[in-house]
Amino acid sequence: MALRLAKALRASSEELFELIHDPATEVLRNLLKNPDLTEEHLLALLKRTDLSEELLQAIHNLQKPEKSHRLRLAMARNPATPAPVVITIMPHLYLFELLDLCILPGVPPDQRLAAERQITQRLPEIPLGNKLTLARRAPPGLLGALLREGEPRIVQTCLDNPRLPESALHLYLRSGKPTPDSLSQIARHRRWGTYPRVRLAILKHPRTPAIWFTLWLKNIPVGELRGLAMKRNLGQAQRNVIQDEMKRRGLR
């Protein structure tokens, strides 16, 4: 061990590429003190998934990660990087690098969540084309935020994403964000427009066009129909269709 520790301090560039595979953390710590250590050595070292948090913190404390985008990205992608370090790195990463952290296998939940939050914070400044790409590739945690953007093309792309959870859609439908157009988009969707719970949530929204009441009310259970009749936030056109359906069924 003593020989390996000493060698790590004065090894040549080629020898450093061999030493980065040493199993001993003490050797790797000494390696960080070697004056011939370069960015390429650190990038190779950061591919290891068995590094300790202490060593990763030491790598982050070097001046090199502050100057190198490649090192920042490698630090963010290493599953053992401490959460506080990841949080300081995230603002420096590009949009689709953050997206990769959200969807690549093996990324710890804390790092994935930090990447999702960083993307969500940037949404107001992201161009439409990039938002559409996000909506196509995004994981469940991002799709709710993209839906709330409300832009018809983004809404449609989110609806088509198989990773969109029903819970995110219901959260959107309970908010004040949907417009008559986006509500109709959901109602017409080949998947979501067939879900009874989604249909009911659409019918409960005050901005839903009356045509969906005309098309759907005849098929909903009596209890749900009575519940809609009691909702005071619906418009007169919607309430008229509800009352007509109740009369047709002989209900009061």
Domain extent for 232: 209-251
Is there a single domain that holds both residue 138 and residue 241? no
Average pLDDT, rounded, for the chain: 92
User: Has residue 4 been placed in a domain?
Assistant: no
Q: What is the mean pLDDT of residues 31-56?
A: 92
Domain count along the chain: 2
Q: What six digits make up the tokens of 204? A: 């409960």
- The model carries a pTM of 0.83
Is there a single domain that holds both residue 123 and residue 218? no
User: Has residue 90 been placed in a domain?
Assistant: yes
pLDDT at 3: 78
User: Has residue 139 been placed in a domain?
Assistant: yes
Is there a single domain that holds both residue 90 and residue 157? yes
Q: Is the pLDDT of residue 66 over 70?
A: no
Is there a single domain that holds both residue 171 and residue 218? no
Is there a single domain that holds both residue 191 and residue 244? no
C-alpha distances (whole Å) from 192 to each of 137, 160, 185, 249 are 19, 9, 9, 27
C-alpha distances (whole Å) from 24 to each of 2, 4, 27, 44, 55 are 11, 9, 5, 16, 11
Q: What is 151-194 written as a DSSP string?
A: -HHHHHHHHH-TT--HHHHHHHHTSS---HHHHHHHHH-TTGGG
- Give the tens place of pLDDT for each residue, 75-100: 999 999 998 999 999 999 999 999 99
- Give the tens place of pLDDT for each residue, 141-184: 999 999 999 899 999 999 999 999 999 999 999 988 999 999 99
Is there a single domain that holds both residue 178 and residue 93? yes
Q: What six digits make up the tokens of 13? A: 């560039």
